[in-house]
């Protein structure tokens, strides 16, 4: 076992192994390749959580799609005080106007972030806008939001790894694990 695959002591359970994650991301890439065949696609990663899934998903999209890549960073909403709007900390460099846009996110929880982000981007009049999320905690929704592409539906547990963090830690873990609550 290499150093990177040793299970971190703060992880109580590995929910999704690297092999399972990569296999599912390849399936999503194949589906996206079929859906957008012969088209241009602006793939927008939501920083920082999407960084690992973006790297793997992009490599799983075939050459039949003309892919452009961009990133946004948004401020997280403040729990119950949420207004359902997001503050864009880093904006797109490419204009989404008239483009097919695919937002890539690490996890959908309440759905508030992606609802607000898709609405914000919709104001720029893209030709289409869809969401691909690696993980979905469907039990936690506070707004009716369903991504077109979902890697895995997971239970309401706080998970880290594969780009997801707790206070900026654990992003490098190559699996999705349930964090020990101390
Ligand atoms: P939503 O607006 O509640 O859907 O928020 C989604 C965001 O909350 C994600 O982009 C993550 O930053 C964060 N988040 C929600 N659940 C988890 C988790 O289990 N682990 C790490 N981050 C999470």
Q: Please report, for the chain, the start and end positions of each structural domain, with discontinuous segments joined by +.
A: 17-167
Closest Cα to atom 9 of ligand 1: 107
Q: Give yes or no for a contact between 112 and 82, defined as CB atoms under 8 angstroms apart.
A: yes
Q: Which atom of ligand 1 is nearest to the CA of 115?
A: 2
Instruction: Report the interhelical angle of 18-35 vs 51-60 (nearest 10°).
Output: 50
Active site residue 109: yes
Closest Cα to atom 15 of ligand 1: 109
pTM of the model: 0.93
Q: Measured in angstroms, how far is the CA atom of residue 101 from the centroid of ligand 1? A: 21
pLDDT digit string, tens, across residues 125-163: 999 999 999 999 999 898 898 999 999 999 999 999 999
CA atoms within 13 A on the CB side of 141: 12
pLDDT digit string, tens, across residues 72-126: 999 865 544 445 567 888 888 889 999 999 999 999 999 999 999 999 999 999 9
- Residues touching ligand 1 (Cβ under 6 Å) are 49, 105-113, 158-160, 164
Long-range Cβ pairs for the range 5-8 (8 Å, 24+): 5/174, 5/175, 7/175, 7/177, 8/170, 8/173, 8/177
Sign of CA dihedral 169, 152, 69, 122: negative
Give the CATH number of domain 17-167.
3.40.50.2020
């Amino acid at each position: 076992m290499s150093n990177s695959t040793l299970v971190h002591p703060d992880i109580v359970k590995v929910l999704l192994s690297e092999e399972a994650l990569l296999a599912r991301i390849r399936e999503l890439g194949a589906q996206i390749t079929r859906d957008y065949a012969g088209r241009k696609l602006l793939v927008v990663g939501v920083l920082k959580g999407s960084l690992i899934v973006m790297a793997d998903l992009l490599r799983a999209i075939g050459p039949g799609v003309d892919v452009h890549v961009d990133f946004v960073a948004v401020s997280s909403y403040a729990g119950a005080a949420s207004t359902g709007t997001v503050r864009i900390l880093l904006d797109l460099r490419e204009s989404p106007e008239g483009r097919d846009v695919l937002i890539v996110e690490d996890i959908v929880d309440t759905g508030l972030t992606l609802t607000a982000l898709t609405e914000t981007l919709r104001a720029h009049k893209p030709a289409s806008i869809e969401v691909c999320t690696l993980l979905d905690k469907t039990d936690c929704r506070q707004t009716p939001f369903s991504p077109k592409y979902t890697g895995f539906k997971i239970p309401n547990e706080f998970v880290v790894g594969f780009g997801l963090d707790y206070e900026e830690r654990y992003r490098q873990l190559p699996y999705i694990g349930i964090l020990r609550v101390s």
